[in-house]
Amino acid sequence: MDKITDEYIQKLVNDHKKKLQYHRDRYNTIRKHDETFMKKNRDRAKVHYENNKEKKKEYYESNKELMNAKASYKYYLKNDKVDKFKEKYNDRYELLINSGFITQPAHHHHHHLLQPSQPVEDEV
C-alpha cells in the first residue's frame, strides 16, 4: 500500500476513538467497581511512582527555567501585558520563542500561544 488515502486515515482515527471510548465506558461501568482490580491498579501506580520519583525530579530540575518562563508569560498574557513581560524578562521571552512555545513574536493585541496538546488517556 504505497498511498494511504484520507478515507483510510479517517477510518483509523475513528476506529481508535471508538476503542478509547469502549475502554473508557468499560472502566466507568465495570472496572472501577471491581475492588480487586482497583487494589492492583493502585499498587501498580505506587510502584511506578516509587520507581520514577527521581526521573520526575530530574525532569523538573532540568526544565525549571522553561517552566518559570511559561508561567510568567501566561500571567502577563492573561493580564494583557505581554509588552511589560518582554521588557522585564527578555531572556525568558527569547527562551519561549526558541523553544517554540510562542509561535510568533507578539504584537500588541495579537498574542499567539500554543496550547499544550491533550494527553491521550491510558487504556485500562
pTM: 0.48
Neighbours of 31 (CB within 10 A): 13
**Per-residue pLDDT tens over the stretch 86-96:** 999 999 999 99
**Per-residue pLDDT tens over the stretch 14-50:** 999 999 999 999 999 999 999 999 999 999 999 999 9
- Calpha distance 80→98 (Å, rounded): 22
- Calpha distance 113→120 (Å, rounded): 21
Domain ranges of the chain: 19-61, 64-99
Give me the phi and psi of 34, to 5 degrees please. Answer: -95, 105
